[in-house]
Chains A and B, each alone.
Chain A
Amino acid sequence: MSKPTKEFNLGNLLQAFPRRGLFLLLFLAATLPLFTTVTLPNKPWDDSIDFYKNLVALQPGDKVLIGSDWTLGTRAESGGEFEALIRILIRRQVKFALYSTGDVQAPLVARDAIATIAKDEAANGQKLYKPFEDYVICGFFPNSEGETLAINNNVRGAFSGRKDYPENGPPQDVLQSPVFQGIRKISDFKYLVLVTPSNTERITFQRVKDTKLMFMVTGVMFVEDHNYYASGQLKGLIGGVKGVFDLETIMSKGYESIPPLPGKNEPGRGTKYYPALHACLGLLLLAVIAGNVGMWLSRKGVKS
């Protein structure tokens, strides 16, 4: 018995676009905009505005604890967020300690990123941020739950015995770093800023109660974490490429009554990747609309 052949019409055609063709279109949508220098209009979200306002309100000499759990898998989002964060801290001359409980590669990735940004900022007239003196990397802790609770309850004890490299010197105990001078408890850090693409954001919420929290998460996680921003538990939230673009927009142009960040603000990852995000989301919308129109046409054809 021969198989029934599918009738060829526009409805079926719209529903049967070949997968490889879609993949090719997505490849083009994601790559071609990267070669443009267009800066798209933007209206920053409240979450991003609060994040920026809180960071720039920090005074020189203040200290911030950074949880960095990102690797290059999410560099388009977390990488841009981390770069913007470090640039703001350097320009405000805020010292920071960094740790990771999410990914064993994260401290290494962060070390490279900070070194690059510090060099870049120094070339633009800012103070050269030196390892151990201005920032210290406390390393990776495999047990996220236990360690995060320890950080909240006894921050010096949690990092005790960890070593980091000063510039041109052998490794030393991180607690000897000027970053930890005057730090007795976690509330001595003005904020804990977590840059994460993983569930460590949940663990941090649940366990860190004694200092103010701000998160930088991926676009997918933003929706869920907005919950905590809305309830006031988070003082600021940056989500995905849109969040990075928000930060960069405010940094370079300011927003309403907020002035731009003093210093040289070149387009960062958010500004560069936002057109690509536009094109990819546009393609997604077109694909969904085409599929639905195709289904509607097919159904109409069957009825008639």
Chain B
Amino acid sequence: MLPLLADLEPKSFWNGFNGSLPLKVFLIGALVLGAVVLLAILRVPARLRRPVVAIFTFVSGFYYVLLWLWPTPIARDPKDAAVGLKENVSFFLADAQPVVANFSNILSGFLLGLGVFSLLRIHGRKVMKRQTDWGFSFVLLASMFAMILFGYWDFWIRQSPTGARLPFAPGDGWGPAQYGKDLLFDGFLQQMDATMFSLIAFFILSAAYRAFRARSLEATVLLLAALIVVLSLTGLIVQGWDSGVGALAGNNPDSFLMNFRLTDISKWLRDTVQTPSIRGLDFGIGIGLLAMSLRLWLSLERLEGDA
């Protein structure tokens, strides 16, 4: 069974019924209520859909807002009983945390299902109707089904006591399910993943060569700073430069010249220029995110198609 209700101490509203009749009643009741709510949502007129979505969004967000703002229990013992409204609410919120996290994980799982459905619909139609480039769609669907087939086959075998003894690396007892999954996952998927990622380097080099030009004062400063940072990543040049500066300064650590070691220049750039600039940017982004989140939570954000 899915670990929706965590079997943990302390027993609370969220985890107190495991293996008991109240739990079964609770689950059946929740299923019936869920089905009723789903049917009701499907029958909601189009003009009322936005308020329904807004209510769900607000309630979901409100839990996390409350969790953030309400005092959190500190050094709580499993045997502690809540006293008063403040403690009752804080214990309730804290106990609900893993359950709410599970809900959100399951909802994210639904999104994955929605993605698979969407892929099947679009590419299935393309293959059936022999539209342009239908071959690529066929490869995509075949790959997806092969991965699902071998993945679940291997998973199913590993659930039995004998299957659980199978090693994860190629070895004794491996059959077609394990070899098939290994070939698809490690042999194809992971290697293609690495290939795609490494292609970025080629575009970075090409773009840097064509676009990184000292056309203005600002661009020149940026270019010089970038060159110093890049040079500081190369141990060989750092070693040569720093030794040269050290020799010029007579290896006197108090010499003014020692500030011009590549290590020191790049450290100064990083700590005095780069870090504060990023901090400033982050503050700006944070404030923007807060404003955006508030608009989304309170459903003030107008989406495309809204009246």
Contact = CB atoms under 8 A, between A and B. Distances in A.
Contact of B196 (A73, A156, A170, A227): A73
8 contacts: A41-B238, A143-B104, A143-B107, A146-B104, A149-B97, A227-B279, A284-B230, A287-B205
Contact of A242 (B64, B185, B233): B233
A141 B235 contact: no
Interface in A6-56: 17, 19, 22-23, 26, 30, 40-43
A227 B201 contact: no
Interface of A: 17, 19, 22-23, 26, 30, 40-43, 71-75, 105, 108-109, 111-112, 115-116, 141-143, 145-147, 149-150, 153-154, 156-158, 160-162, 165, 168-171, 219, 223-224, 226-227, 230, 242, 245, 274, 277-278, 280-285, 287-288, 290-292, 295
Contacts, number: 179
Contacts of A43: 235, 238-239, 242, 263
Contacts of A280: 201, 205
Contacts of A71: 190, 193
A146 B101 contact: yes
B205 A281 contact: no
Contacts of A281: 230, 233-234
B188 to A, nearest CB: 11
Contacts of B208: 284, 287-288
Interface in B61-117: 64, 67, 72, 94-95, 97-101, 104-105, 107-109, 111-112
Interface in B179-195: 185-186, 189-191, 193-194
A292 B214 contact: yes
Contacts of A146: 100-101, 104-105
Interface of B: 2-3, 6-8, 64, 67, 72, 94-95, 97-101, 104-105, 107-109, 111-112, 158-161, 164-165, 168-169, 185-186, 189-191, 193-194, 196-197, 201-202, 204-206, 208-210, 212-215, 223, 227, 230-231, 233-236, 238-239, 242, 263, 270-271, 274-275, 278-279, 282
A22 B206 contact: yes
Contacts of B100: 146, 150
Nearest to B205: A26
Contacts of A282: 234
A162 B94 CA distance: 20
Contacts of A40: 235-236
A48 to B, nearest CB: 13
Given A41-B236, A72-B194, A292-B214, A142 B108 contact: yes
Nearest to A155: B98
A223 B229 CA distance: 10
A155 to B, nearest CB: 9
A287 B209 contact: yes
A267 B164 CA distance: 34
Contacts of A154: 8, 94-95, 97-98
Contacts of B2: 161
Given A157-B97, A292-B212, 13 more contacts: A43-B263, A75-B194, A112-B169, A146-B101, A147-B105, A160-B8, A165-B168, A230-B275, A242-B233, A284-B208, A285-B231, A288-B227, A292-B214
Contact of B3 (A105, A142, A162, A245): A162
Contacts of A42: 235
Contact of B213 (A111, A170, A283, A291): A291
Nearest to B169: A115
Contact of A288 (B197, B202, B223, B274): B223
B209 A17 contact: yes
